[in-house]
Amino acid sequence: MNRTELKPSVRLICTSDGRVAEVLAEHCGRVLGVISYSASEPDFSSGDLVHSWVELEVLGEETCHEIWVSENQVSVHRQDGFEYSCDGDFLFCSHVQDECVPQGLERAAHSAYAGLFDLLDRSGYPFLLRAWNYFPGINDAGEDIERYREFNAGRHEAFCEKGRIIEEGSVPAACALGTRRGNLVICSLAGRSKGVAIENPRQVNAYRYPGKYGPKSPTFSRGMLAGDALLISGTASIVGAETMHPGDVMRQLEETLENLRVVGSMARREGFAAEDFRGLCLNVYLRSREDLDSVRKRLQAEFGPNAKIFCMQAEICRADLLVEIEAFWMVQREAA
């Protein structure tokens, strides 16, 4: 199918505290949701907005706000622990799941995703396009296995229970990062129409990882085209299914950049038409803050001054990964 005419979609504006009020006022009534990243809970007077706080330290800034904007008017709803907004084409949802003993992370992930799928089906936005997952101690030992693997098992079970097909083209873009403390925080973007899932031929599809990476594979695609925007999953130094260059952050960064290039190239085959980096927003997750200067310098050389780059300290889904990058890449439109 030729997708050279991709319709407009959601927009993303990344900003620090200084401009957030201005951006919200400019797009009043059309904000699908806001994700705020900071080490302490921000003083965010959101009004009637869907807002999530992710407890991660932003390196070099106090706070990073991701403001998801629609071209249409947005309505906001709250139901069964889910906050969500919709605009006729897209639904943005925020959910905080209390991960309390004896429930455990696997059951918490299952409960959260099962509830999310029920909400999407009821609301008429059945296609999950992108998911963000944050929880503490991602590399720690859980009840029987590593906590990230517990999370994957719970998420996978919810997909199966709710009749979601786990195959190429049917799973969302996603990330999963470790916070220092707090609950399971899940944000998601869904649509009335199906997106175009993007895979990377350099990598085994994540949902087909071999059993040594856990009893259930991670349930995500490498990227997703939603209208004319490309949502790129958390991307790291993985070739095939193996971690490359353990212990060397700069070599891992180069491998990660190559994976990002390939995902972009595969998206262009599906009609993605971004010509430069003006519409590129990057979240860069670093295991060690000591790597900030060298990583930021290399990224600035790669993407130039137009890309928005925010770096955060976080635990990454594999203990031998030192850097992970997720991206949102918008086609820039000419002013009318």
User: Distance between CA 285 and CA 322 in Å, rounded?
Assistant: 8
Residues 168 and 217: beta-carbon distance below 8 Å: no
Catalytic choice (66, 99, 324, 326): 324
Annotation says 143 is catalytic = no
User: Distance between CA 201 and CA 258 in Å, rounded?
Assistant: 12
DSSP lists the bridge partners of residue 135 as 178
Residue 247 carries which side chain, given as an amino acid letter?
Answer: G
Residues 64 and 14: beta-carbon distance below 8 Å: yes
User: Distance between CA 222 and CA 234 in Å, rounded?
Assistant: 8
Per-residue tokens: 327: 């991206």
Residues 284 and 234: beta-carbon distance below 8 Å: no
* Contacts within 8 Å (CB) and 24+ apart, 299-307: 299/253, 302/257, 303/277, 304/277, 306/276, 306/277, 306/278, 306/280, 307/277, 307/278, 307/280, 307/281, 307/282
- Residues forming the active site: 324
